[in-house]
Amino acid sequence: MKSATTHVLRGATTTPMPTPQALLEAPLARGADAEPLQRQLHQRLRHAILDGRLLPASRLPGSRSLAEALQISRNTVTAAYEQLAAEGFLQPDRQGTRVAAMHCPPAARGAQARPAIARRLAGMQAGTSRDDAAAALRPGVPALSHFPFAAWRQALDRASRAAGPAMLGYGDPLGEPGLRASIARHLAIARGVRCSAAQVVITEGAQEALALCVRLLADPGDTAWVEDPGYRGAKAALQAGDLRVVPQRVDDQGLVVTAHDWQARPPRLVYTTPSHQYPTGAVQTAARRLALIEAARRHRAWIIEDDYDSEFRHAGEPIGAMQGLVPQAPVLYVGTFSKTMFPALRLGFVVLPEALLPSVQAPLGEMLRGGHRPAQLALADFIESGQFSRHLGRMRRLYRERQQALRVALADGLRVPHAIEGGHSGLHLLVRLPPRHPDAAIVQAARRHGIGAQALSGFALQPLAQDNGLVLGYGNTASDLFAPLVRRLSQLARAADTGA
Ligand SMILES: Cc1ncc(COP(=O)(O)O)c(C=O)c1O
């Protein structure tokens, strides 16, 4: 046996031999708070093998010489070696102890190799983080401090008591039947959706509903149209399904689609937010909706209608969902409780066309596992007891007041040319700005002041000069803060003036 430092490291013939301390990267910790020496030694050697610093077939120092070098007892070394041998990392032989023959995947070798991910995800860029819900004017966040916590807790309690331990098992993969029925009834009344409970599939928010639509109806390489500017989450879901994502412009009447588009690049899926385009706030006209349904039928395409916030209608007549406009529309209606309840609930749904049910029932049963059962049962209780409607009514009034207050603050305090768009429903307004005030620069500077406004250009796939503006959420920001926040945004917009 050679000295304790030989035979153990990759490239041993060309690089200087590290000492056992170098092999272990740092001296073993001592003292009352330290982990037992045997455990430390075992872990260090295990890491060295997994990191590729100790290669298969390398011979380890004898227990006596390593114990001397590390100034620990020989029993400690022997015990660590024995454990590693029992785990298959080391192999004792007649000459001593070797690293066992094994293939160490590159991912186990620390930061040396950057794992390759699927090509379809490579172009995905990080959006703004969703964990800064508290940032002022952040779009898409409901009034969290106005949520009726006590009533919700009672609903959870009632649901647990009624269902008992049975609730802890797997549920119906498509969701709790009671909740699906409550949603179907609610949608018929509130949104004019034509559906039975059997068509409703409960999902983990709208995001999973979108992913489900893709998995059920599209094959890799199929074309999907998305609104431009539009919801990034939809683009991500389509892209993750390996679809060819084609942007379609929106104007003040929502998604623009021409006969030429249908000829030139017919889609399998069309993602749209007709009742309140995200983020411009445009409402799609009935004529365009009917034309879209008609063309989708002709081309055997499916429309995904994302109706994410239209329960909060503030102006004009209620606009029914596109799904209910004509019988058997080729529409998958996606909804979420992220705005009407709270985002952390992670409950949403998709209403499938009746004609699809026979073919999707088996795959859905295989793919889904249900989930969030206590929350699903409590939500059904919350809807059936009338508390959901009361909560919606209160929030509608609150958001209407907040939007009005934001409009006043903008009229008084935003000292750059601008045009306010949207606001017929939901929780945000779009403030379009001239290109000389670049939205990305304003938003970046605003973040340092705790302002979570978003840049319109960030929602565009192929941005035009006119895609410049601020998306301002008023859902989770108190009205008395609007004046100072708008004054700050005004300063930042003026500072960002390029003069161009
Ligand atoms: C257009 C749109 N759809 C859906 C959602 C909700 O998604 P989820 O239910 O996954 O929270 C949002 C939230 O911001 C949205 O803006």
> What is the per-residue pLDDT across 308-354, written as a single tens digit (0 to 9) for each?
998 999 987 778 999 999 999 999 999 999 999 999 999 999 999 99
pLDDT tops 80 at residue 3? no
Mean pLDDT computed over 353-359? 95
pLDDT band at 191 (very low <50, low <70, confident <90, very high): very high
User: 369-405: per-residue pLDDT in tens?
Assistant: 988 999 999 999 999 999 999 999 999 999 999 999 9
Q: Residue 21 pLDDT more than 70?
A: no
Pick the CATH number of 148-385 from 3.30.70.890, 3.20.20.140, 3.40.640.10, 2.60.40.2140: 3.40.640.10
Pick the CATH number of 390-495 from 3.60.10.10, 3.90.1150.10, 3.20.20.70, 3.40.718.10: 3.90.1150.10
pLDDT digits (tens, 9 = 90+) for 133-177: 689 999 999 999 999 999 999 999 999 999 899 899 999 999 999
Name the average pLDDT for the chain. 91
Which positions ≥6 away from 15 have C-beta within 8 Å? 9
Q: What is the Å distance from ligand 1's center to 233 Cα?
A: 7
Mutate to test the pocket of ligand 1, among 130, 183, 202, 207 (most ligand atoms within 8 A of CB): 207
Confidence at residue 5, expressed as pLDDT on a 0 to 100 scale: 39
Q: How far is the CA of 50 from the centre of ligand 1 (A)?
A: 41
Report d(CA 11, CA 271) in Å as an integer. Answer: 56
What value does the mean pLDDT take over residues 420-437?
97
Mutate which of 278, 337, 345 for ligand 1 pocket (most atoms within 8 A of beta carbon): 278
Task: Supply the pLDDT for residue 53.
Answer: 84
The CATH number assigned to the domain with range 20-108 reads 1.10.10.10
Can you give the pLDDT at residue 131? 64
**Can you give the pLDDT at residue 119?**
81
* Predicted confidence (pLDDT) at residue 14 exceeds the cutoff of 60: no
In the reported structure, the alpha carbon of residue 12 is separated from the centroid of ligand 1 by a whole-number distance in angstroms of 56
- Tell me which of 308, 311, 312 to substitute to probe ligand 1's pocket, judged by most ligand atoms within 8 Å of the beta carbon: 308
In 3D space, the residue among 311, 316, 210 whose CA is nearest the CA of residue 269 turns out to be 210
Tell the burial category of 215 from Cβ atoms under 10 Å away from its Cβ (0-12, 13-18, 19+). middle
**Pocket lining for ligand 1, CB < 6 angstroms:** 140, 205-207, 231, 233, 273, 278, 306, 308, 336, 338, 343, 348
CATH 3.40.640.10 region(s) of the chain? Answer: 148-385
- The whole-model pTM stands at 0.83
Q: Measured between alpha carbons, how far is 447 from 299 in angstroms, rounded to an integer?
A: 45
Cα(458) to ligand 1 centroid in Å equals: 16
- As a whole number of Å, the CA-based R_g of the chain is 30
Give span(s): CATH 1.10.10.10, the chain.
Answer: 20-108
Sheet with 469-473, side-by-side order of all strands: 419-421, 428-432, 469-473, 454-455
